[in-house]
Chain A
Amino acid sequence: MTAATMTAGTPGSGSKSGAGPRTLFDKLWDAHVVVERPSGDALIWIDRHFVHEGSFHAFAQVAGRDGIVVEPGLTFGIADHYVPTRGRDHIANSEIARMIDDLAANTARHGVELFGLNDPRQGIVHVVGPEQGLTLPGLTMVCGDSHTSTHGAFGAYAFGIGASEVAHVLMTQTLWQKKPRRMRISIDGTPAPGVGAKDFILSIIAKIGADGARGYAIEYGGEAVRALSMAGRMTMCNMSIEAGARCGLIAPDETTFRWIAGRPYAPKGAALEAAIAAWRQLPSDAGAVFDREITIDAGAIAPIVTWGTSPEDALPIGASVPDPAALADEGRAAAMRDALAYMGLRPGQKLSEIVVDRVFIGSCTNARIEDLRAAASVLAGRKARVPGLVSPGSSQVKRQAEEEGLDRIFIAAGLEWVESGCSMCVGMNGDSVSSGERCASTTNRNFRGRQGPGARTHLMSPAMVAAAAVTGHLTDVRPMLEGRS
Chain B
Amino acid sequence: MKPLTHVAGPACPLGLAGVDTDQLIPARFMKRPRSEGYGGFLLHDLRRDDAGVEKPDFPLNRPVWRGAEIMVARRNFGSGSSREAAVYALADHGVRVVLAPTFGDIFASNAVKNGLLPAVLDEADIEDLLAALTATPDLPVSVDLAEQTVAWGNRAVTFAIDPVWREQLLNGWDDIDVTRSCAGEIARFRAADDDRRPWARPAGA
Most buried by B among A48, A174, A211: A211
Q: Does A474 contact B (CB under 8 A)?
A: no
How many A residues have CB within 8 A of the partner chain? 86
Contacts A162-B109, A172-B180 given; indicate if A211 touches B102 (C-beta within 8 A): yes
**A1-B173, A37-B164, A214-B105 given as contacts; is B179 within 8 A of A168 (CB)?**
yes
Q: Once the chains are docked, how many angstroms separate the CA of A241 from the CA of B21?
A: 13
Of residues 361 through 416 on chain A, the ones whose CB sits less than 8 Å from some CB of chain B are none
Q: A34-B182, A39-B164 are in contact. Are A47 and B200 (CB under 8 A)?
A: yes
Is B154 an interface residue when CB atoms closer than 8 A count as contact?
no
Which B residues are in CB contact (< 8 Å) with A265? 202-205
- Indicate whether A133 sits within 8 Å of B203 (C-beta atoms), given known contacts A172-B180, A176-B179: yes
- A365 vs chain B, min Cβ distance (A): 14
A211 and B79 in contact, given A1-B178, A164-B113, A274-B198 (Cβ under 8 angstroms): yes
The 8 Å CB contact of A447, one of B16, B20, B193, is: B20
Query: Are the CB atoms of B193 and A172 closer together than 8 Å?
Result: no
User: Which residues on the B side are within 8 Å of A162 (C-beta)?
Assistant: 82-84, 87, 106, 109-110, 113
Could you say which of A136-144, A225-233, A295-303 contacts chain B?
Answer: A136-144
- Cβ of A68 within 8 Å of any chain B Cβ, yes or no, is no
Partner of A3, one of B32, B163, B164, B182: B182
Q: How long is the Cα–Cα vector from A173 to B163 in the complex, in angstroms? A: 24
- Contact of B192 with A by CB under 8 A: yes
Distance in Å from the Cβ of A87 to the closest Cβ of chain B?
A: 18
User: Chain A interface mostly helix, strand, loop or mixed?
Assistant: loop
- Say if the beta carbon of B186 comes within 8 Å of chain A: yes
Smallest Cβ distance from A24 to chain B, in angstroms? 16
Instruction: Tell me the B residues contacting A by CB distance below 8 Å.
Output: 16-18, 20, 22-23, 26-28, 30-34, 45-46, 50, 74-76, 79-85, 87, 102, 104-106, 109-110, 113-114, 127, 162-164, 167-168, 173, 175-176, 178-182, 185-186, 188-190, 192-193, 196-205
Q: What would 5 A/B residue contacts be, using CB atoms closer than 8 Å?
A: A98-B31, A138-B200, A144-B82, A428-B28, A449-B45
Q: Which residues of A contact B (CB under 8 A)?
A: 1-3, 6, 8, 11-12, 31, 34-35, 37, 39, 41, 43, 45, 47-48, 54, 56-57, 60, 65, 67, 73-74, 82, 95-96, 98-99, 132-134, 136, 138-139, 144-146, 160-165, 167-168, 171-174, 176, 178, 210-211, 214-215, 241, 244, 246, 264-268, 271-272, 274-275, 278, 309-310, 331-332, 335, 426-428, 435, 445, 447-450, 453-454
